[in-house]
């Protein structure tokens, strides 16, 4: 049973930082590409960042480039999203996701391509 559990969300002021973590179990973590997506009420799920099995390839949505950084630790079965210079428009529920096939940025950018999802963690950025 694949399980993805996000943590690290919370309330921060604009310009502040958070590090989100996603602990994976029930899968051979190093075989999976991983990603972060976010969603706000009334809007579609939005791609944030993705990383291939080794961490050698990364992809970011344009709106988060230079501010958010995805990384992974295959020994800890954990993927991270270091979020700096946060803006109120970053407020959303952030979801961790896993792809059991091949890394495919074109699908991730469209909000798809992932097979397993966590329950999400809320990030709120105050003005």
Tell whether the model's pLDDT for residue 104 goes beyond 90: no
Per-residue pLDDT tens digits for 9-52: 999 999 999 999 999 999 999 999 999 999 999 999 999 999 99
CA–CA gap between residue 30 and residue 26 (Å, rounded) = 12
Task: Look at residue 19 in the predicted model and tell me its pLDDT.
Answer: 98
Tally the residues of the chain: 127
What's the mean pLDDT when you consider all of the chain? 96
Which residues, at least 6 apart from 119, have a Cβ–Cβ distance to it below 8 Å? Answer: 5, 6, 95
Task: Look at residue 6 in the predicted model and tell me its pLDDT.
Answer: 98
Structure tokens at 32: 């999976």
| pLDDT band of 101, cuts 50, 70, 90 | confident
| pLDDT band of 119, cuts 50, 70, 90 | very high
DSSP-derived secondary structure letter, 9:
-
Per-residue pLDDT tens digits for 50-96: 999 999 999 999 999 999 999 999 999 999 999 999 999 999 999 99
| pLDDT band of 107, cuts 50, 70, 90 | very high
């Amino acid at each position: 049973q694949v399980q993805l559990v996000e943590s690290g969300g919370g309330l921060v002021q604009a310009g502040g930082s958070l590090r989100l973590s996603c602990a994976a179990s029930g899968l051979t973590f190093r075989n999976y590409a991983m990603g972060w997506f976010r969603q706000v009420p009334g809007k579609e799920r939005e791609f944030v960042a993705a990383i291939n099995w080794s961490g050698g390839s990364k992809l970011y949505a344009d709106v988060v480039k230079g501010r958010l950084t995805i990384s992974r630790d295959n020994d800890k079965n954990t993927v991270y999203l270091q979020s700096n210079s946060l803006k109120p428009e970053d407020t959303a529920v952030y979801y961790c996701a896993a792809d059991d096939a091949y890394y495919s940025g074109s699908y991730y950018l469209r909000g798809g391509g992932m097979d397993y999802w966590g329950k999400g963690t809320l990030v709120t950025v105050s003005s």
